Amino acid sequence: NQNRIKIQIAAALLLCLCARASADVTVYSSQSFLHDTFPSGFLWGSGTSAFQTEGAWDQEGKGTSVWDHYTHSAVSGNSATETANVASDSYTHWEEDVKALELLGVRSYSFSLSWPRLFPDGNARSEPNTAAVEHYSRLIERLLQKKIEPIVTLHHWDLPQVLQERYGGWKNNTLVGLFEEYAAFCFHTFGSRVRYWLTMHNPYLVAVHGYGTGVHAPGEAGGPSGSLIVAHNLIRAHAKAWHTYNAHYRPTQKGKVSIVLGSHWVEPQRGQATAANVALCQQSIEAVLGWFANPIFGDGDYPVSLKIKHGALLPTFSAEEKLWVRKTADFFALSFGPNNLRLGRNLVQYGQTVTPDLRRILSWIKLEYGDPRVLVAEGGWFSEASVGIEDTVAIYLMKSFINQVLQAIKFDGVQVFGYSAWSLVDGFEWNYGYTVRRGLFYIDFSQPNRTRTPKTSAQYYQRVVADNGFLSDETFREVKGRFPCDFHWGIADSTLQVRRQEDDFAAENAK
């Protein structure tokens, strides 16, 4: 009965959001786009991850990561012909990345440390790689000189390969302690200059694609059982790192620590907002975001819907662990991009639809987890590699996402304090290699100098940052005329249509 009541309450919260969405259509029918500014001090930024951009995969003492091994082996399938050996070469061209940030006018830069670059053997009790420590120190110092806030991620998927081979990677709870030691080293070494820490980025995709479907490194297709065990260890590793910071470093460094969690948004199709459909929508979001957020931001345990769905396969937290895990984040860091929306499409049933509505998921977080302060740590979409510098669709989507954040702040009272446009430069896009681009700055990967060229989306973002939002003093006038005779008229089913990707784990969950 208690489980049924919890599900009914959660469904009622989502039904409230859906009803609010319908009301907004009436109230703001003439204002689907909000011209207003963000709060003073809003933390505009951009971001990258180490594996996607650094390159220098075997230089200056760096060890092999699971993604290095994955892209160099046949297990990666179609990605085997492409590697991140050089990628954006940010390890060498980091100063140009800082200049790109200056051009944008942003106040923060999210980047990740490479665990195998700092500790080739994965063991933080051993001597660190001096070249790596000096590299990240130089980057942090330069950012601070330019008054750009470093937001540092400890682990963005590039686990040292030696830990995968020795322990089986995140399937083994030994990594919980090893990650805590690695985190403690980073806090001790860089923490006096870093105010914002992110323990790991989107662990859902590590658990599901790394150890469930095998689409990501290390390429293990262990199905739901493998993913559930990995997720459990990732949550415990995050909590252990947070407690280490809280006990030993927060008193002097006075920073904040969180974890980046990804999500999609799903809602009933028009005219089908029945209680049953809303409950299914709630379960869909709990199966992705709630899987990790409920233990950390909620009651310290997994959502009831996951317990019902997975039964004995789902690991359990003891009563002591629930108290230990909950509230181990100082703010809510959200990833909202194509990877989670692709997965979300496979988690819905008849009567629901996945939509790229960032405002709704921000409101859901507020209602579900007690109005936390929120950082949109990854916001953005992708362009096909052939698009080049004139990425018009990316501008449209960027404008839409950022305005949805503004509406969430102004209309819904969500405490969003920053937005990181993803990503700063084109890089290696995981299982898609170089076939898609997400950077604000274009890189020609056939050229050795890896020149950063601002795209039209970079120019647009620069304007948004400078205006701190969307000013209302634009002048509009009607334009009359005819299109060229050879203009191609057509029709499309969705601007956000994405390529189909096999996802056995998600398909199994949809049954």
pLDDT of residue 298: 98
Side-chain half-sphere of 453: how many Cα atoms within 13 Å? 13
Give the span between the Cα atoms of 269 and 291, in whole angstroms: 24
Task: Output the CA torsion 158→373→181→193 (10° steps).
Answer: 90
Give the span between the Cα atoms of 426 and 439, in whole angstroms: 4
C-alpha to C-alpha distances, 251 to 107, 154, 186, 237, 254, nearest whole angstrom: 25, 20, 16, 21, 6
C-alpha to C-alpha distances, 184 to 34, 100, 231, 252, nearest whole angstrom: 43, 31, 21, 14
pLDDT of residue 338: 83
The band of 479, judged by pLDDT with boundaries at 50, 70 and 90, is low
pLDDT of residue 487: 84
Phi, psi for residue 401 in degrees, rounded to 5:
-60, -45
The band of 405, judged by pLDDT with boundaries at 50, 70 and 90, is very high
Give the span between the Cα atoms of 250 and 232, in whole angstroms: 25
Mean pLDDT value of segment 232-245: 98
Give the span between the Cα atoms of 416 and 474, in whole angstroms: 26
Contact 338, 202 (CB under 8 A): no
Contact 128, 119 (CB under 8 A): yes
The alpha carbon dihedral of 446, 447, 451, 453 has a sign of negative
Give the span between the Cα atoms of 197 and 330, in whole angstroms: 10
pLDDT of residue 25: 35
Give the span between the Cα atoms of 119 and 129, in whole angstroms: 6
pLDDT of residue 48: 98
Longest distance between any two alpha carbons in the chain, whole Å:
72
Which of 161, 131, 189, 164 is closest to 63 using CA atoms?
161
Mean pLDDT (the chain) is 89
Percent of the chain scoring above 70 in pLDDT:
86
Mean pLDDT value of segment 405-423: 98
Beta bridge partners of 21: none
Q: Quick one: DSSP state of residue 469?
A: B
pLDDT of residue 114: 98
Give the span between the Cα atoms of 15 and 474, in whole angstroms: 36
Q: Rounded to an integer, what is the distance from CA 302 to the centroid of its chain? A: 21
Distance between terminal CA atoms of the chain? 25
Beta bridge partners of 395: none
C-alpha to C-alpha distances, 160 to 155, 267, 339, nearest whole angstrom: 10, 39, 23
Give the span between the Cα atoms of 92 and 138, in whole angstroms: 12
Q: What is the CA radius of gyration of the chain?
A: 22
Q: What is the pLDDT of residues 345-399, one digit of tens each?
A: 677 776 788 888 999 999 999 999 999 999 999 999 999 999 999 999 999 999 9
Domains (range + CATH), the chain? 33-467 (3.20.20.80)
pLDDT of residue 280: 93
Phi, psi for residue 430 in degrees, rounded to 5:
50, -125
pLDDT of residue 110: 98
Given a cut of 80, whether residue 219 has pLDDT beyond it is yes
Mean pLDDT value of segment 437-461: 97
Element (H, E) at 384: strand 383-384
pLDDT of residue 474: 53
pTM score: 0.89
Collapsed DSSP state (helix, strand, coil) of residue 113: coil
Give the span between the Cα atoms of 256 and 442, in whole angstroms: 32
Q: What is the pLDDT of residues 243-262, one digit of tens each?
A: 999 999 999 999 999 999 99
Contact 149, 43 (CB under 8 A): yes
Q: What is the pLDDT of residues 304-357, one digit of tens each?
A: 999 999 999 999 999 999 999 999 999 999 999 887 777 666 777 767 888 889
Which one-letter amino acid corresponds to residue 357?
Answer: D
State the residue for tokens 């100063």.
95
Q: Quick one: DSSP state of residue 57?
A: T
pLDDT of residue 486: 78
Given a cut of 80, whether residue 299 has pLDDT beyond it is yes
The alpha carbon dihedral of 204, 200, 48, 164 has a sign of negative
DSSP one-letter string for 133-164? HHHHHHHHHHHHHTT-EEEEEEESS--BHHHH
Give the span between the Cα atoms of 12 and 4, in whole angstroms: 12
State the residue for tokens 């404008």.
399
Provide CB contacts within 8 A for 247, sequence distance 6+.
Answer: none
Q: Quick one: DSSP state of residue 440?
A: S
The band of 490, judged by pLDDT with boundaries at 50, 70 and 90, is confident
Collapsed DSSP state (helix, strand, coil) of residue 453: strand
Q: What is the pLDDT of residues 111-158, one digit of tens each?
A: 999 999 999 999 999 999 999 999 999 999 999 999 999 999 999 999
